[in-house]
Structure 1
Amino acid sequence: MKYMLLIYNNAESRQSADMDRIRAEVDTIMDELRASGEFVGGMALADTARTVKVRDDVPVITDGPFLEAKELMAGFLVVDVESVERATEIAARWPDARESAMEVRAVIGEVTE
């Protein structure tokens, strides 16, 4: 079953953290996931975002993230694992889970071209 692991963090934790240590931890996890065949894909996301809502057929666009938001989605990875417990185990090892949060979501369908 495929799971998307959503990575949340905040600017404070990124600035105060030992980035070399965090990168090394992520590299170790990624190497293990690639070796086991569980890694499907993933990407880091920029700090900026745009929200699009359509109201009365008119797009309403706002830029963000906003100062009120303490945490923002920083990236994601998709894994193909045996169970939600395994996906949760991977998320718990991710460095951002210690400072902010990781969200584990089952993928229930795929978009095809």
Structure 2
Amino acid sequence: MKYLVMVQGAQSDYEGMTGKSSPHSPAWSEEDLRAMFAFMSAVNDDLAESGELVDSQGLTEPAQARTVTAGPDGRPVVTDGPYGETKEVLAGYWVVDCESLERVTEIAIRVSQCPEPAGTPVRPVVIRPIQDGDGGEV
């Protein structure tokens, strides 16, 4: 069964990782960043070794995002940048192929234990089963 494991974030988290603190996120040190990247690399290595890793990626900050919607007349409306109403965004993900929901939950629990500086907001790790082309779970 394939699952998408998603890590949530916000623009303030990305700014904190560049050393800019805010009321919503502390500034990260170089040591904090190294610890986070080492942790994520270890997770990826372990999932690759077990044969469960299909793909994993971190995503750029929301300020680099673009949203495309249909306008009232059906023509596309393209908007750049972060949005005030958007509190959390997808920060990164894993696609894993696991035997069970219990196993992917173990993976998500491990991901949720990534080292972060004190004061970093707690962001959810979300698990979603991936549907196959027939609408069933893969």
Q: 2:4 corresponds to which residue?
A: 4
Residues 76-101 of structure 1 show CA distances to partners (whole Å, capped at 9, x for unaligned) of 110000111211211121128x8312
Residues 15-62 of structure 1 show CA distances to partners (whole Å, capped at 9, x for unaligned) of 534111111111111111011000001222111211111133210111
Q: 2:67 corresponds to which residue?
A: 51
Stretch deviating more after TM superposition (84-93 or 8-17): 8-17
> Unpaired segments of 5 or more residues in structure 2?
20-26, 116-120, 134-138
Aligned-residue identity in percent: 38
Q: Whole-Å Cα distance in 1 between the matches of residues 98 and 39 of structure 2?
A: 20
> Unpaired segments of 5 or more residues in structure 1?
none
TM-score (norm 2): 0.68
Greater per-residue strand proportion: 1
TM-score (norm 1): 0.82
- Choose between structure 1 and 2 for higher RCO, CA contacts under 8 A separated by at least 6 residues: 1
Q: Is this contact kept in 2: 1:54–1:60, CA < 8 A?
A: yes
User: How big is the alpha-carbon RMSD for the aligned residues of Structure 1 and Structure 2?
Assistant: 2.1
Give the residue type in structure 2 aligned to 1:81. Answer: C
Q: Whole-Å Cα distance in 1 between the matches of residues 82 and 4 of structure 2?
A: 21
- The 5-angstrom pairing of residues 8-19 of structure 1 reads 8-10=8-10, 11-12=12-13, 14=17, 15=19, 16-17=27-28, 18-19=32-33
